[in-house]
């Protein structure tokens, strides 16, 4: 495809951070599936490419570094568009509305952040939920603990190393639908929007294609289909 810069010929190389179900997760056979995966398949198809996924720490994705060094062509990681991130990568139009949510063990008395005085809240390294927890820690008197991914975060909660786990609402709604050990104590109107991103200033044609796919999917019903397929919201 003309004017496209690609990490590997014939492929749309996508950086993500597993697992972030329902956006990206391994199924029982080990294949990576999810809302973002289906979306990037649409983009790849439109460009005559096949998608290949690179699982990599979120820090490298959100810092723009992975895109900058050409580890991948596009980042698709349920990533919130922020002013800081916009300075180091080019985002698509928004494709998903998100708020933070606090996961607790079912049957526990935690309802609001004020109930966490002297307790521990976990979050994922580098993400907006961790930052939101950190920004509220002093005010409510809780401690923040960092985890590498949603698996270690929910394990820490299951084993009582922490009393709450902060992460994006679609992640925890899917989890609580499957795992009755957990419930969502509260949600926060953080007014986040997800975007896909490409290297800053370096891949306008790819970005335009991503935007076209998002815009047309909203009109032709394919967005609604993917939403129903993956979300528990
Ligand atoms: N939406 C959140 C963020 O961008 C979480 C993303 C993630 O952990 N994969 O920080």
Q: What is the per-residue pLDDT across 118-170, written as a single tens digit (0 to 9) for each?
A: 999 999 999 999 999 999 999 999 999 999 999 999 999 999 999 999 999 99
CA-wise closest residue to 217 among 88, 36, 82: 36
Average pLDDT across the chain, whole number = 97
Which ipTM value was assigned to this complex? 0.98
Task: Give the span between the Cα atoms of 84 and 164, in whole angstroms.
Answer: 27
Averaged pLDDT for residues 12-37: 98
CATH of 11-95+195-230, one of 1.10.12.10, 3.90.1150.10, 3.40.190.10, 3.90.1150.50: 3.40.190.10
pLDDT band at 2 (very low <50, low <70, confident <90, very high): low
Query: Collapsing DSSP states into helix, strand and coil, what is residue 117?
Result: coil
| Residue to mutate (ligand 1; options 62, 91, 92, 128; most atoms within 8 A of CB) | 128
CA distance 135 to 133: 5
Cα-Cα-Cα-Cα dihedral sign, residues 61, 65, 71, 73:
positive
Domain 99-192: homologous superfamily in CATH: Periplasmic binding protein-like II (3.40.190.10)
pLDDT in tens, 184-210: 999 999 999 999 999 999 999 999 999
Distant-in-sequence, close-in-space partners of 210: CB < 8 Å, separation ≥ 6: 43, 74, 92, 196, 198
How many of the other CB atoms lie within 10 Å of CB of 28?
A: 5
Whether the pLDDT of residue 1 is over 60: the answer is no
Residues within a 6 A CB radius of ligand 1: 17, 20, 58, 77-80, 98, 124, 127-128, 168
Domain boundaries of the chain, sorted by first residue: 11-95+195-230, 99-192
């Amino acid at each position: 495809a003309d004017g496209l810069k690609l990490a590997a010929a014939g492929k749309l190389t996508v950086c993500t951070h597993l697992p972030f179900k329902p956006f990206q997760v391994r199924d029982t056979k080990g294949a990576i599936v999810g809302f973002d995966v289906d979306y990037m398949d649409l983009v790849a198809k439109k460009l005559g490419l096949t998608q290949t996924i690179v699982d990599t720490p979120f820090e490298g994705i959100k810092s723009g570094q992975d895109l900058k060094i050409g580890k991948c062509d596009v980042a698709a990681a349920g990533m919130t568009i922020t002013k800081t991130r916009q300075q180091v990568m080019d985002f698509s139009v928004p494709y998903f509305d998100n708020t933070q949510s606090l996961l607790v063990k079912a049957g526990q008395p935690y309802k609001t952040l004020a109930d966490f005085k002297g307790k521990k809240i976990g979050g994922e390294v580098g993400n907006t939920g961790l930052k939101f927890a950190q920004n509220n820690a002093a005010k409510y008197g809780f401690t923040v603990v960092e985890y590498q991914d949603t698996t270690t975060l929910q394990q820490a909660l299951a084993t009582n190393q922490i009393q709450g786990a902060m992460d994006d609402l679609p992640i925890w709604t899917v989890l609580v639908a499957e795992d009755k050990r957990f419930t969502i104590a509260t949600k926060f109107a953080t007014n986040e929007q997800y975007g896909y991103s490409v290297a800053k200033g370096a891949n306008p044609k790819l970005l335009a294609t991503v935007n076209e796919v998002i815009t047309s999917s909203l009109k032709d019903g394919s967005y609604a289909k993917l939403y129903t397929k993956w979300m528990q919201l």
